[in-house]
Amino acid sequence: MDRINTPAIETATGATAEVYAQIRKSIGSVPNLFVAVGAHGPEALKAVLAAEGVLASGTLDKKDQETIKLLVSVLTGCDYCEAAHTVIGKMVGLPQDVIGKIRRGESTGDAKRDALIRLVRTLIQTSGTIPAEEFAAIKEAGYTDRQLVEISFAISLVIFTNVFNRINDTTVDFPVTPR
């Protein structure tokens, strides 16, 4: 249950109402995460949506973006984002068995995706500069320098939502499936 008092979406006015209308127009409804952030920080929500647009226009494909967002959500313990990115992962074409393997920390059997998972896991679970072997592995897997920027950007975006949801205990409004 949400810890931060969030007014009913119907009572939103000004910048908050505008950003909710934009989301509704785009995806049909306003997820609880966006309701809570928008109620108290419409500028932050607008920035997140703009940043997601930048990420979407990059060279990193949607399956890779969702792999990153799902894995980071699992590693940080954000139940809301894990549920959301499980659903979105399916929508962008990640097979259910691959989603399950990502969630359980198992190899997906796809060398390129597994290299991405190893890099993201290393970045989230360790500190300092990544080992040279890790850098070599992600480059050998075929990721470009531009995509390394986009991987970093995707991680930073999902960290924001993970942290906010962990503070707020945002009510999950996506189906929750077992790992």
pTM beyond cutoff 0.85: yes
The number of angstroms, rounded, from the C-alpha of 114 to the middle of its chain's C-alpha atoms is 18
Tokens 């945002």 sit on residue: 170
Q: What is the pLDDT of residues 101-125, one digit of tens each?
A: 999 999 999 999 999 999 999 999 9
With DSSP H G I counted as helix, E B as strand and the rest as coil, what are the percentages for the chain, rounded to 5? Answer: 70, 0, 30
| Ordered per-residue pLDDT tens for the chain, 179 residues | 799 999 999 999 999 999 999 999 999 999 999 999 999 999 999 999 999 999 999 999 999 999 999 999 999 999 999 999 999 999 999 999 999 999 999 999 999 999 999 999 999 999 999 999 999 999 999 999 999 999 999 999 999 999 999 999 999 999 999 88
Q: What is the pLDDT of residues 3-25, one digit of tens each?
A: 999 999 999 999 999 999 999 99
Give the type of residue at 143: Y
Instruction: Compute the distance between CA of residue 28 and CA of residue 24 in angstroms, rounded to an integer.
Output: 4
Q: What DSSP character marks residue 113?
A: H
Question: Is the Cβ–Cβ distance between 83 and 165 less than 8 Å?
Answer: no
Cβ neighbours, 10 Å, residue 127: 5
